[in-house]
Structure 1
Amino acid sequence: MFRLLLVEDDHSLFTEVQERLSQWNYEVHGVQDFHDVMTDFTTVNPDLVIIDIQLPKFDGFHWCRLIREHSNVPILFLSSRDHPTDMVMSMNLGADDYIQKPFHFEVLVAKVQAVLRRAYNYTQDTNEIKSWAGATIDWDRNRVSNEYGSIELTKNEIFILQLLVEQKNKIVSRDSLIRRLWEDERFVSDNTLTVNVNRLRKKLGDLKLGEQLQTKVGQGYVLVEGSNV
């Protein structure tokens, strides 16, 4: 059974989400003190964190930053604010997905299932490729290293890298990436993929590999090596 930490101060919404997700055999825990979310995070040791942006004392972005300092656990943001910058900020902080309130519970369940499947199941089928462009890839630890250093990737980022490495030097369409990442493109903002890819490219840039993740306008993305750059 997967353990979920739901950081939501609206008691009625928390209760409804907890009941709905419990029907899918998820163990949903809440927060006892919104001034000290990290204590509950450490105690629960969740497999997934669902966190609202608007919270008492500190907002969800604050807690996401702190969680990311200690863990790569998947994070799913909720927000009642209709600001594209909120989604961009969420993804840049390392969140795995984003849902705007009000939402259909079927969409929430689908996103939770997809995030958990992506985070904990894909490593069973991880490609045997352990290196790319002179860098060593540790699929289990979400880490890429070369002579310039080492970077840690989120679950989304390592999954995107895996899909592109499998098809290196070939263009992978945006629709194909969305379907593989989020199962159903009807529930995904097109900008979500863009933010994730841009964040991956920025991290690869720390290893002098950013330019090898190329955008092909109107087609998709390609991961190239050596003379193709």
Structure 2
Amino acid sequence: MYRIFIVEDDVKIASILKNNMEKYGFEAASAIQFRELLPELAAFDPHLVLLDVNLPYFDGFYWCRQIRARSSMPIVFISARAGEMDQVLAIENGGDDYITKPIHLDLLMAKVRGVLRRAYGEYAAAGMGGASAAASAAAALGELEVRGLRLHLSRSELEWGGKRVELTKNEQLLAECLMKQSGHVASREQLLEALWDDVQFVDDNTLTVNVTRLRKKLEELALPKAIETIRSLGYKLVLPEEAEGATS
């Protein structure tokens, strides 16, 4: 049974969310101490966090960063703030998805189930169609490598030239998709399907934000131009040997 931790200071909304989670067979608990959430969260040991943005003492972005520093568990934001920048901030701070209030419970459950499947269920280790036998074998061993760029799947780390960076779940899924499609364009549709099961609910801008986050991680590895945007098609992984012969 999956455990859902609800961080929502509106008691009525928290109760509705908790009852709905339990209705569909999840174990759920609501936060009580908003000044210090981490002890409650650690005691409940959830599989997923539903996190409001407007909270007493510290906002949801702060708590998302605190959770991310300790865990890669999925975090789904729920907020009345429907602005594009709020959604960008949620993803930039480590969130996996964002739902605006008033909450449509059917959509919420679809997103929760999808995130849980990607993190723990049948899609957790799923690869992309068309992957080479070598890439599939490497993935089975928990590692992918393309031209010296190494993705450690079990640790969610990228390695290049002796340097390593940690990845969020979405960043890892994007990196895995791009590496398996190395030498070819990974379409926006392929990348969306790698990240989200319910693609019809996803704003295309959300993919762009996630790609930007992965680019920043690659920049930390001294690979500032590793992801090339192919207009109207998608993205392509371009590592130094390829880039040297590329035309501007």
Specify the TM-score bucket, using the shorter chain as the normaliser: over 0.9
Aligned partners of 1:203 and 1:118: how far apart in 2? 21
Aligned partners of 1:208 and 1:98: how far apart in 2? 31
Provide closer, same or farther for how the CA distance between residues 191 and 26 of structure 1 changes in structure 2, counting only shifts above 3 A: same
Q: More relative contact order in 1 or in 2 (CA 8 Å, sep 6+)?
A: 1
Partner of 1:200: 214
Deviation at residue 162 of structure 1 after TM alignment: 1.1
Q: Is the 8 A contact 1:148 1:208 kept in 2?
A: no
Deviation at residue 93 of structure 1 after TM alignment: 0.8
TM-score computed with the length of structure 1 as normaliser:
0.94
RMSD over equivalenced CA pairs, Å:
1.5
Aligned partners of 1:19 and 1:128: how far apart in 2? 43
Helix, strand or coil at the partner of 1:21: helix
Letter in 1 for 2:164: S
Q: Tell me whether 193-202 or 123-132 shows the greater mean CA deviation.
A: 123-132
Helix, strand or coil at the partner of 1:163: helix
Structure showing greater Rg:
2
Output one character per residue of 1:155-182: Cα deviation in whole Å (capped at 9) or x when no partner: 1110111111111121121122213321
Give the total of aligned pairs: 229
- Residues 1-229 of structure 1 correspond to what in structure 2 (within 5 A)? 1-121=1-121, 122-125=123-126, 127-129=136-138, 130-229=144-243
Output one character per residue of 1:188-227: Cα deviation in whole Å (capped at 9) or x when no partner: 1111111111001110111122312111121111113343
TM-score computed with the length of structure 2 as normaliser:
0.87
What stretches of structure 1 move > 3 A for 4+ residues in a row? 121-129
Give unpaired runs (5+ residues) of structure 2: 128-135, 139-143, 244-248
What fraction of aligned residue pairs are identical, expressed as a percent?
39
Q: Is the 8 A contact 1:74 1:95 kept in 2?
A: yes
Letter in 2 for 1:128: A
